[in-house]
Structure 1
């Protein structure tokens, strides 16, 4: 009788153990499926983000090229402006007159040294005074 009870008890424990293993396996499979779905979603998000990064990178390269062109153009314009400043004799005369005004030369001295008409020399002095 004790033997039969032990056999039944052992059988019940075995069934319970198999049930728990089966239930645990099922929960584990559900967990794996859930993690697979999360992994798929994250992979899709990563793909989208990579394409967005590529778009931003392309835009930045385009902007960089434009900036380089603008810097080159600006440099050329500055060089051309400097060349024109030294080529035009009138601009030399006016540049010199402006320097003299800045250094505090009087009206007669500017007229004599720069060969400017009195009205233009007065205008330069007047502009310089307004500036200051």
Structure 2
């Protein structure tokens, strides 16, 4: 039994094509497996980044809440300071001696000389010197 040459070539070509297809199919399966592994890694990274982002948002919200609390405290303290300053001014205006010292301190801060303060406020030099050391002009 003799097989024709073209038939042998056709069978060989079919075997070669089938082998090529099989190699290509195996390579494709391998690439798909690698891509699935890479996809899983990316999904894990996305989940981790999402958790980090949520932690970051929570940190920002906590910081904002703390800032608001501090702002309220500062406002309250500013109001308290203003009230105390008003009380101090009222008390100092009621005490004649402290009015002299207050006036002397204001004069010194405005740049008045020691002699001017002594004559204007009727204070001894030692007291004016002490006030000068406490209230140096800005």
TM-score, scaled to structure 2 = 0.70
Q: Establish whether residue 127 from structure 1 lines up as the match of residue 130 from structure 2.
A: yes
- The corresponding residue for 1:104 is 115
- The corresponding residue for 1:91 is 98
Relative distance call for 1:60 and 1:94 in structure 2 (3 A) is: closer
- The corresponding residue for 1:117 is none
Give the whole-Å Cα distance in 1 for the aligned partners of 2:93 and 2:66.
41
Give the number of the structure whose residues are more often helix, by fraction.
1
8 Å CA contact 1:85–1:92 kept in 2: the answer is: yes
- The corresponding residue for 1:16 is 23
Q: For the aligned residues, what is the CA RMSD?
A: 3.1
Relative distance call for 1:88 and 1:130 in structure 2 (3 A) is: closer
**1:125 Cα offset (Å):** 4.3
- Structure 1 SS opposite 2:58: helix
Q: Is there any run of 5+ residues in structure 2 with no aligned partner, and where? A: 1-7
8 Å CA contact 1:86–1:92 kept in 2: the answer is: yes
Q: Establish whether residue 70 from structure 1 lines up as the match of residue 77 from structure 2.
A: yes
Q: Is there any run of 5+ residues in structure 1 with no aligned partner, and where? A: 115-119
8 Å CA contact 2:92–2:99 kept in 1: the answer is: yes
Give the whole-Å Cα distance in 2 for the aligned partners of 1:50 and 1:82.
47
Give the whole-Å Cα distance in 2 for the aligned partners of 1:129 and 1:38.
68
**1:126 Cα offset (Å):** 5.2
Matched positions, count: 124
